[in-house]
């Protein structure tokens, strides 16, 4: 006001800078997902390297393994190799409900999943209790901003989500996307940025 001779000038308002939303990638590395696991870990490496502070990556199988730190290596070969060494249950069984419960109890409730975009990469085959997966997916949906399920089989013509796991989780998922090609992974990146 002093510069304008005491007249009230234009009021300057400070705007909050837009914050990026955290992204959590949950990758099924069971035996049925073995043909896709390497490509999905490489995809996760690219996403982690683009925003290391805002992306967390976990693998699901018979147990939950956090691999965010391993995927922060600059060299993709070394990053995927380190992540593979950290995962003890690679190409084993699938207990999606149990591992999702462990994720929510250990990291999700404490803030990692809150208001985040959570992407679950799995074909939906569940060896454990499918109703537990449905319950835990509902719990995840209450915490997260968006829950996206990426199923490599969803890109096939005539695909129906009839596997026990995906059928139980289906009502609590915002979108079911295909994840079988680079084009579908590019679409997933658009969906993540849109969320």
In this predicted structure, what is the pLDDT of residue 16? 75
In this predicted structure, what is the pLDDT of residue 11? 67
CA 47 distance to own-chain centroid: 10
Does residue 167 have a pLDDT over 70?
Answer: yes
Sequence-ordered list of residues with C-beta below 8 angstroms from that of 172, at least 6 positions apart, any chain: 134, 137, 138, 140, 141, 147
Does residue 8 have a pLDDT over 80?
Answer: no
In this predicted structure, what is the pLDDT of residue 66? 97
In this predicted structure, what is the pLDDT of residue 17? 73
- The reported pTM is 0.88
Q: What angle do CA 68, 104, 65 make, to 5 degrees?
A: 35
How would residue 195 be classed by pLDDT, with cut points 50, 70 and 90? confident
Does residue 133 have a pLDDT over 80?
Answer: yes
Taking the C-alpha atoms of residue 141 and residue 118, their distance in angstroms, rounded to an integer, is: 9
Comparison of pLDDT for 13 and 165, the residue scoring more: 165
| Strand, helix or coil for residue 146 | strand
Domain spans of the chain? 59-92, 95-114+129-145+181-195
| 190: number of Cβ within 10 Å | 9
80-119 pLDDT tens trace? 999 999 999 988 888 999 999 999 999 988 889 999 999 9
């Amino acid at each position: 006001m002093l510069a304008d001779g005491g007249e009230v000038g234009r009021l300057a308002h400070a705007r909050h800078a837009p914050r990026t939303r955290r992204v959590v990638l949950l990758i099924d590395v069971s035996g049925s997902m073995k043909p896709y696991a390497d490509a999905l870990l490489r995809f996760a490496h690219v996403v982690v390297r683009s925003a290391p502070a805002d992306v967390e990556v976990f693998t699901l199988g018979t147990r939950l393994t956090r691999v965010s730190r391993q995927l922060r290596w600059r060299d993709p070969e070394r990053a995927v190799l380190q992540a593979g060494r950290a995962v003890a249950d690679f190409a084993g069984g699938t207990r999606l409900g149990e591992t999702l419960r462990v994720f929510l109890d250990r990291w999700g409730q404490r803030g990692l999943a809150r208001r985040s975009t959570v992407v679950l990469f799995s074909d939906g085959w569940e060896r454990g209790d499918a109703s537990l997966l449905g319950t835990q997916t509902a719990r995840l949906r209450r915490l997260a901003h968006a829950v996206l399920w990426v199923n490599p089989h969803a890109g096939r013509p005539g695909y129906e989500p009839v596997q026990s796991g995906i059928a139980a989780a289906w009502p609590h998922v915002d979108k079911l996307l295909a994840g079988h090609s680079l084009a579908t992974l590019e679409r997933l990146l658009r969906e993540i940025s849109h969320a």
